[in-house]
Each structure stands twice: as C-alpha cells, then as structure tokens.
Amino acid sequence: MIEAEWWDYDDADEMAEAVAGDIGFIIESALDARGEALIAVPGGKTPLPIYEKLAQARLNWKKVTIIPTDDRLVPLSDEKSNVRAIAQAFLPTGARVFPITSDISDYKLAGNSANAKLADLKFPLDLAWLGVGSDGHTASIFPGPDLDEALNSPKGRHAVGVMPDPLPPEAPFARVTLTRSAILSARTVLITVTGEEKKALLEQAIEDGQSSKLPIGRVLAEAEQPIDIHWAA
Ligand code: 6PG
C-alpha cells in the first residue's frame, strides 16, 4: 500500500512558499550530512513559481546539482526544453544544472546518452520531485510502447528514451526520462499537483496501486518510502 502524506493549499502561491521551504530543508540536510546535494526537478508549469521561490533560499548552492526528471528531445535553446527553464532559474544561484540529455535525435539512443551523463553523478537522489500530467504520466513516463522499459529498467539504469503514444499535443516530442528505479531510490519523493481533476486522478492511482492503468500509479506502487504530496486548489 502506497503511504501518501497530503498537504493542501488554497492557491499555487501558498504551495510555492511551502514547497520551496521543504525542498530548501531537504537540500540543507543533504549538505549537512554529505556535503553535497543531488535533486531532480520536474518540467511543466506548476513548478515554475516554486523554482523562483527556491532559488531565493540562502544555501551553499555551489554544492547542489540539479537535473530534470525528464526532458523533451529538443535543442537546449528551445523554449520547450525543461532543462532550459531549470538553468534560467538556478544557474544564477551558482548551482550545477545538468541536462538529462537532449543532444540525441534518436530517442532510443537518448537513454544511453543520458545514462552516460548521469553515471558521473552520485545517485541516489536526495530528492525526486514529480509533476503529474492529466493523462497520469509523471516525469516522461507516459502510456505507450516504452512504458514497461521506464518502469522495469534495472537499478543503475537511471534513464531511458521514450516515445509517448499518443504524443501530448502541448509537447509532441520524443523524450528522455528518469526510470522508476531512479525515482524511487531517492531519499525523498515529492509530488506537486494543482486542481481537483489531478487530485482525484492521483488519489485513484494511489488507491489502485500496481493495478493502476496510470503511469503515476505504477511508479508509486513500488515506493518503499512515504510520498509527500502537495496540492493546490
Ligand atoms: C514535462 C513534465 C511533465 C509535467 C507534467 C505536469 O516534460 O512535460 O516533466 O511530466 O510534470 O506534465 O505538468 P504541469 O505541472 O505543467 O501540469
């Protein structure tokens, strides 16, 4: 049974303030314990105000490495690139920002390229921060031909290239994503969602667990740690 702890907020600003504080604390605890922090953050719109608040935190940012949980296979200069938004928000703090990769046009090769890059980072993550799509995807673990590979890749295979099917109309790209094992090996897994629809979807996915048809349910079903869920109306 997935152990989920929910925090509800009246609006996105209130959630941004609280979640930025929580993530700042996670980073500070990692720095105190190990002298460095490695966190993965989601793309999309929900995280943007949280990036902004978090980047204002007074931390030893030069010891913090930030990677996207997933990215679209587009040039780093493309406004649809997740790592582009992350770099804009966090490079000014002095943090290191690594692309999970976006230099491979062939999505099947993207996973290998990403694994090579990520192999230099000291997993496990201190934080895997996830968003959830209205189709139940998380990171870029989408319904489609690559779902099983993203869910069942062996430990140590941190990333896979995926081709969502159907392609999401707002971002119709091949992608690269952290795998379920990379996400669930994180010391903390935190989810941010907004709106009644996604709250209901996430509650149902958690209730269904392994039998969920939604990628988020399949990812969380194997969680051994409590999942922190922050929801803004
Ligand atoms: C992406 C994101 C994706 C996102 C969800 C939710 O590349 O599209 O990583 O997984 O987290 O789609 O996006 P919103 O928070 O904008 O609804």
pLDDT range class, residue 87, cuts 50, 70, 90:
very high
Average pLDDT over residues 56-82: 96
Q: Is the pLDDT of residue 229 over 90?
A: yes
* pLDDT at position 131: 98
- 176: which strand partners? 71, 161
* pLDDT at position 107: 92
In the reported structure, the alpha carbon of residue 138 is separated from the centroid of ligand 1 by a whole-number distance in angstroms of: 7
Q: Is the pLDDT of residue 142 over 90?
A: yes
ipTM: 0.95
Task: Find the helix or strand (DSSP H, E) in which 208 lies.
Answer: helix 196-208
Q: Which atom of ligand 1 is nearest to the CA of 46?
A: 15
Compute the C-alpha angle 47/68/23, nearest 5°.
50
Average pLDDT over residues 60-82: 96
Per-residue CA distances from 110 to 26, 51, 89, 147, 216 (Å): 30, 26, 24, 15, 22
Task: Find the helix or strand (DSSP H, E) in which 68 lies.
Answer: strand 64-68
Chain-centroid distance of CA 194 in Å reads 15
Q: Which atom of ligand 1 is nearest to the CA of 139?
A: 10
Q: Is the pLDDT of residue 104 over 90?
A: no
Is there an atom of ligand 1 within 6 Å of 24 CB?
no
Q: Is 181 helix (H, G, I), strand (E, B) or coil?
A: helix
Q: Whose CA is nearest to atom 5 of ligand 1?
A: 133
Please give the model's pTM, rounded to 2 decimal places: 0.97
* pLDDT at position 42: 98
| Tokens matching residue 177 | 């994503």
Q: From 41, 70, 135, give the residue whose CB has the most ligand 1 atoms within 8 Å, as the site to mutate.
A: 70
Say how many domains are in the chain: 1
Q: From 45, 132, 176, 198, give the residue whose CB has the most ligand 1 atoms within 8 Å, as the site to mutate.
A: 132
Query: Angle 48-55/82-90 helices, nearest 10 degrees?
Result: 30
Q: Whose CA is nearest to atom 12 of ligand 1?
A: 133
Q: Is the pLDDT of residue 179 over 90?
A: yes
Q: Which atom of ligand 1 is nearest to the CA of 137?
A: 10
Q: Whose CA is nearest to atom 7 of ligand 1?
A: 43
pLDDT range class, residue 2, cuts 50, 70, 90:
confident
What is the rounded CA–CA span in Å between residue 70 and residue 67?
8
Find the CATH number of the domain harbouring 125: 3.40.50.1360
Q: Is the pLDDT of residue 176 over 90?
A: yes
CA nearest 27: which of 2, 64, 82, 53?
64
Is there an atom of ligand 1 within 6 Å of 139 CB?
yes
Is there an atom of ligand 1 within 6 Å of 68 CB?
no
* pLDDT at position 160: 96
Is there an atom of ligand 1 within 6 Å of 62 CB?
no
Contact 2, 209 (CB under 8 A): yes
Q: Which one-letter amino acid corresponds to residue 150?
A: A
Q: Is the pLDDT of residue 1 over 90?
A: no
Q: Is the pLDDT of residue 102 over 90?
A: no
Per-residue CA distances from 132 to 19, 83, 104, 154, 216 (Å): 16, 18, 25, 23, 7
Q: Could you give the dihedral angle defined by the CA atoms of residues 5, 11, 14 and 20, in that order, rounded to the nearest 10 degrees? A: 60
* pLDDT at position 188: 98
70-72 and 159-162 strand pairing: unpaired
Q: Which atom of ligand 1 is nearest to the CA of 44?
A: 16
- Give pLDDT tens digits for 195-208: 999 999 999 999 99
Is there an atom of ligand 1 within 6 Å of 176 CB?
no
Domain extent at residue 63? 4-232
Average pLDDT over residues 160-169: 94
Average pLDDT over residues 44-48: 96
The residue whose two tokens read 């976006």 is 102
